Chain A
Amino acid sequence: MLAPISFLLLVTLSPPQDVMARDRPNDNGKEISVFWSPSGDTGVTSYRILRQTEGQQSWDTVGMVGRLARSYADTDVEDGVRYRYVVLAASETETAESEPSDYAVSTPQWFDTDRIPALFGVAIFTFLIVLATNLARRNRNLFIRRISGLDAVEEALGRATEMGRPILYVPGLSSIADVATIASLNILGEVAKKTAKFGTPLMVPLRDPIVYTVAREVVKESYTTAGRPDAFSQDMVFFVTTQQFAYAAACNGIMVRDRPATNFFIGMFWAESLILAETGATTGAIQIAGSDAIHQLPFFITACDYTLIGEELYAASAYLSREPLLLGSIKGQDYSKIVILTVIVLGTMLALLANVQVLDWFRSIR
Chain B
Amino acid sequence: MKRRIPLILVLVLGIFAAIAFVVPHPSVRGVDDVMRNDVLRIIGAFSLVLGVGSIIRHHYMKIKRKAEHWPYSWVTLSTLVVSAILGLFGGIDPNAPGVLFRAGGVGQFLSNFHMQTLYDNIMVPLAATMFALLAFFMASAAYRAFRARNLEATLLLVAAFVLMLGAVPLGRMLIKPLPAFAEWILTVPNTAAKRGIMFGVGLGTIATSLKIILGIERGWLGGGGS
Interface residues of A (CB under 8 A from B): 26-29, 108-112, 115, 118-119, 122, 125-126, 129, 133, 177, 179-180, 182-183, 185-187, 189-190, 192-193, 206, 209-210, 212-214, 216-222, 224-225, 234-235, 237-240, 243-246, 248-249, 253, 257-258, 271-272, 274-275, 277-279, 281, 292, 294, 297, 299, 302-303, 309-311, 313-315, 317-318, 321, 323, 325-326, 329-330, 332-333, 336-337, 340
Contacts and interface: CB of A to CB of B under 8 A. Distances in A.
A305 to B, nearest CB: 12
Interface of B: 18, 21-26, 29-30, 36, 40, 43-44, 47-48, 50-52, 54-55, 57-58, 61, 68-69, 72, 123, 126-127, 130-131, 133-134, 137-138, 140-142, 144-145, 194, 197-201, 203-212, 216-217, 219-226
B198 to A, nearest CB: 7
B197 A309 contact: yes
B58 A186 contact: no
Chain A binding site: helix, strand, loop or mixed by DSSP? helix
Contacts of B30: 28
A96 B179 CA distance: 51
A213 B21 CA distance: 28
A26 B29 CA distance: 12
Given A133-B216, A213-B47, A326-B216, A112 B22 contact: yes
Given A112-B23, A248-B130, A326-B216, A209 B50 contact: yes
A190 B217 CA distance: 12
B224 A337 contact: no
B224 A190 contact: yes
B204 A108 contact: no
6 closest Cβ pairs, A-B complex = A221-B222, A314-B204, A311-B200, A186-B219, A323-B225, A209-B51
A221 B21 CA distance: 33
B224 A225 contact: yes
A254 to B, nearest CB: 10
Nearest to A187: B219
29 contacts: A28-B26, A108-B25, A115-B22, A126-B206, A126-B210, A129-B210, A177-B36, A179-B204, A180-B205, A189-B219, A189-B224, A193-B224, A206-B51, A212-B47, A224-B222, A225-B226, A234-B54, A234-B57, A239-B52, A245-B131, A274-B134, A292-B205, A311-B203, A314-B204, A314-B207, A318-B217, A318-B225, A325-B225, A333-B207
Contacts, number: 223
Contacts of B54: 212, 216, 234, 237-239
A332 B212 CA distance: 15
Contacts of A278: 137, 140-141
B126 A221 contact: no
Contacts of A238: 54-55, 58
Given A27-B24, A180-B205, A294-B198, 10 more contacts: A108-B24, A182-B208, A190-B219, A206-B51, A214-B220, A238-B55, A239-B54, A317-B224, A326-B211, A326-B216
A182 B212 contact: yes
A182 B210 CA distance: 12
Nearest to B138: A274
B27 to A, nearest CB: 8
A355 B204 CA distance: 36
A29 B206 CA distance: 29
Contact of A125 (B25, B137, B203, B220): B203
B207 A329 contact: yes
A347 B46 CA distance: 50
A329 B225 contact: no
A310 B18 CA distance: 23
B26 A108 contact: yes
